[in-house]
């Protein structure tokens, strides 16, 4: 993972906090989700997840390929 992915993840998390009221102190997994999304974008991969809500919000800020599974 490129070091700039961590900076970008911080920016995405700050935006989620400001726009959607996320309490980042209680949402540690969201930081991991941001890093997963940004890493997948960097290598051209698709994220497969059941966590549609969080990944869709991340996707609005930092577009990446996403497939929701049930």
Total count of domains within the chain:
1
- Per the prediction, the chain carries an average pLDDT of 89
What percent of the chain stands above pLDDT 90? 54
- Structure confidence at residue 50 (pLDDT): 96
Residues listed for the chain: 70
Tell me the DSSP string of 7-40. Answer: HHHHHHHHHHHHHH---GGG-HHHHHHHHHHHHH
Three-class secondary structure of residue 49 per DSSP? strand
- pTM higher than 0.85: no
Is the pLDDT reported for residue 69 higher than 80? yes
Each residue's pLDDT tens digit, 19-47? 988 777 766 788 899 999 999 999 999 99
For residue 60, the enclosing domain spans 3-68
């Amino acid at each position: 993972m490129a070091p700039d992915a961590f900076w970008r993840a911080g920016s995405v998390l700050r935006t989620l906090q400001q726009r959607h009221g996320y309490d980042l102190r209680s949402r540690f997994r969201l930081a991991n989700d941001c890093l997963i999304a940004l890493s997948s974008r960097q290598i051209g991969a698709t994220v497969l997840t059941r966590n549609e809500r969080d990944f869709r919000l991340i996707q609005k800020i930092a577009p990446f390929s996403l497939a929701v599974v049930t």
